[in-house]
């Protein structure tokens, strides 16, 4: 894309009328973006790159995948357990030496396979599965929170970098404008309307503006590199950023906050812990059995293969009132959780109200700055038109350009601040 040459002359400005300078600035922004790189990237490109490269998101995905293994482990722990054991022991003795055979039996030869099956464990197994499912919910909320935080940080940096791009476009436009006026002023100086010192003054100001544009480009490169680094990208190409299209959320529901929903998960975790305390004090019954070899002499081995079966019963009777203490500890933990939840919910509402008011103020400031910028652009157009006829002082044009440069920077900053507020509203958690 090349900049149109038909709008470079002061006569074209007069033909366009009011607002022409603003139109030229918009076209110049497009020309500057094209000159940076043939490639244009938008916010979604950077967000996708950041998500793909985030080690935190990858780790959380691995943890969610591991939850299926945890569920299988819980189910397996309440199923049949089979173990094998073997022992070979020979204890020789004589009339005056060796272990007492009444203790050692002279030896032990054992090879046994044992099995046990816990009975009536439905409640315990379900509690274990509920705990795994709760960890899954917590991980999901953690992923949502990580995504929101990552998106907000990337968007903030994108806003900064896009503001740099706009500042560079404005600086290059001012530089181009002064270059155009040098041609006009040189011709007028030749006609005796202006002095050569005016031409020199304009040339010095044009050079200063080119230096300002170089500084703006260096800042853009640095912030673009920071944006790529934040997204985990090693790209160093100076690309053009597409304009932002952020819109404020029409409504806000605090209950959608991942952080606030985490408090509900913590409440369920306390409930599970409470249930587990009671389950630990229930009677435990297991069916057990084994089969194999048990003998005290090698000669008896062929005749000592056998099996056994039975039940194991465990009944809690008294634990020094530890059960009540554990319930009370969990109750205190729940009260603490409730206090934190209520405080955070109130803070969330206050933060949203503060951001909403800040957005209203930002809109008002932006509208005022835009009006000021439009008036200054019209004034510059008039100065340029009158300058061609030698009707104004060159210093008046410089002053108008300097004031408009400040207003343009204020406008870019106001737009960036407004975008940051909307970004904070979108990702409020």
Residue ending a domain, among 293, 315, 337, is 315
Same-domain check for residues 115 and 222: no
pLDDT at 37: 52
Same-domain check for residues 277 and 297: no
Same-domain check for residues 238 and 288: no
pLDDT at 262: 94
pLDDT at 171: 93
Measured distance CA(128)–CA(416) in Å, rounded: 50
Torsion angle (degrees, nearest 10) of CA 203, 206, 208, 214: -140
Measured distance CA(52)–CA(75) in Å, rounded: 34
Same-domain check for residues 332 and 395: yes
User: Which domain, by its residues, includes 299?
Assistant: 82-120+282-315
C-alpha gyration radius of the chain: 40
pLDDT at 328: 95
Q: What is the residue-wise DSSP string for 54-118?
A: -HHHHHHHHHHHHHHHHHHHHHHHTS-EEEEEEEEEE--EETTEE--HHHHTTEEEEEEEEEEEE
Assess whether pLDDT exceeds 50 at residue 21: no
Assess whether pLDDT exceeds 50 at residue 5: no
Burial group, residue 287, by CB count within 10 angstroms (0-12, 13-18, 19+): middle
Residue ending a domain, among 300, 315, 330, is 315
Confidence of residue 218 (pLDDT cuts 50, 70, 90): very high
Q: What is the residue-wise DSSP string for 273-303?
A: HHHHHHHTTS-EEEEEEEEEEEESSGGGGGG
pLDDT at 28: 46
Residue ending a domain, among 297, 315, 333, is 315
Same-domain check for residues 171 and 292: no
CATH number at residue 188: 1.20.1600.10
Same-domain check for residues 293 and 410: no
Same-domain check for residues 39 and 125: yes
Sorted by sequence, the CB contacts under 8 Å of residue 345 that are 6+ apart come out as 254, 260
Any idea what DSSP says for residue 120? S
Same-domain check for residues 226 and 213: yes
Tokens of 298: 């090698």
Same-domain check for residues 101 and 219: no
Measured distance CA(214)–CA(226) in Å, rounded: 19
Same-domain check for residues 226 and 172: yes
Cα separation values, 226 from 4, 52, 166, 222, 426, Å: 33, 17, 17, 6, 22
Any idea what DSSP says for residue 427? T
pLDDT in tens, 44-76: 999 999 999 999 999 999 999 999 899 999 999
Tokens of 48: 């996708």
pLDDT at 201: 87
Q: Which residue matches tokens 């038109």?
A: 385
Number of structural domains in the chain: 2
Sorted by sequence, the CB contacts under 8 Å of residue 41 that are 6+ apart come out as 239, 240, 241, 242
User: The whole model's pTM is what?
Assistant: 0.81
> Hey, what long-range contacts does 57-61 have (CB within 8 A, 24 or more apart)?
57/143, 57/146, 57/147, 57/150, 60/139, 60/142, 60/143, 60/146, 61/143
CATH number at residue 287: 2.20.200
pLDDT (average), residues 152-173? 96
pLDDT at 9: 32
Average pLDDT, the chain: 87
Tokens of 190: 């030749």
Q: Which of 382, 377, 385 is nearest to 401 (CA)?
A: 377
Cβ–Cβ under 8 Å, residues 184 and 385: no
pLDDT (average), residues 343-351? 94
Torsion angle (degrees, nearest 10) of CA 250, 256, 260, 264: 150
Assess whether pLDDT exceeds 80 at residue 17: no
Same-domain check for residues 411 and 308: no
Same-domain check for residues 355 and 366: yes
């Amino acid at each position: 894309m090349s900049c149109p040459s038909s709008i470079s002359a002061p006569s074209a400005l007069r033909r366009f009328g009011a607002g022409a300078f603003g139109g030229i600035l918009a076209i110049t922004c497009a020309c500057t973006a094209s000159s940076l790189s043939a490639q244009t990237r938008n916010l979604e490109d950077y967000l996708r790159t950041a998500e793909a490269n985030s080690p935190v998101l990858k780790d959380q995905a691995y943890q969610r995948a591991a939850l299926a293994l945890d569920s299988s482990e819980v189910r397996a722990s309440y199923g049949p357990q089979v173990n094998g054991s073997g022992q070979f022991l020979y204890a020789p003795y004589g009339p005056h030496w060796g272990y007492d055979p009444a203790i050692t039996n002279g030896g032990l030869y054992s090879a046994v396979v044992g099995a046990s099956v816990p009975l009536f464990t439905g409640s315990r197994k379900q509690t274990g599965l509920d705990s795994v499912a709760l960890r899954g919910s917590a991980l999901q909320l953690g992923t949502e929170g990580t995504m929101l935080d990552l998106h907000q940080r990337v968007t903030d940096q994108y806003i900064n970098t896009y503001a740099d791009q706009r500042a560079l476009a404005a600086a290059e436009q001012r530089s181009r404008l002064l270059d155009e006026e040098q041609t006009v002023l040189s011709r007028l100086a030749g006609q005796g309307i202006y002095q050569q010192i005016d031409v020199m003054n304009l040339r010095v100001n044009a050079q200063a503006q080119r230096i300002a544009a170089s500084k703006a480009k260096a800042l853009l490169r640095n912030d673009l590199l920071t944006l790529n680094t934040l997204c985990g990208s090693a790209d160093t190409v100076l690309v053009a950023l597409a304009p932002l299209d952020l819109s404020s959320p029409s409504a806000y529901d605090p209950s959608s906050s991942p952080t606030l929903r985490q408090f509900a998960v913590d409440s369920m975790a306390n409930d599970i812990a409470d249930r587990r305390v009671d389950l630990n004090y229930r009677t435990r019954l297991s069916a057990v059995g084994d089969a194999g070899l048990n003998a005290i002499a090698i000669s008896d081995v062929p005749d000592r293969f056998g099996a056994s079966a039975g039940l194991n019963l465990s009944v809690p009777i008294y634990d020094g009132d530890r059960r009540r203490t554990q319930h009370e500890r969990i109750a205190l933990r729940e009260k603490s959780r409730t206090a934190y939840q209520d405080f955070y919910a109130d803070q969330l509402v206050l933060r949203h109200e503060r951001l909403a008011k800040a957005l209203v103020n930002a809109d008002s400031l932006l509208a005022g700055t835009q009006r000021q910028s439009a008036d200054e652009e019209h004034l510059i157009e008039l100065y340029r038109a009158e300058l061609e006829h030698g009707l104004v002082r060159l210093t008046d044009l410089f002053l108008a350009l300097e004031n408009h440069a400040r207003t343009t920077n204020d406008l870019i900053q106001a737009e960036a601040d407004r975008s940051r507020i909307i970004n904070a509203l979108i990702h409020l958690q």
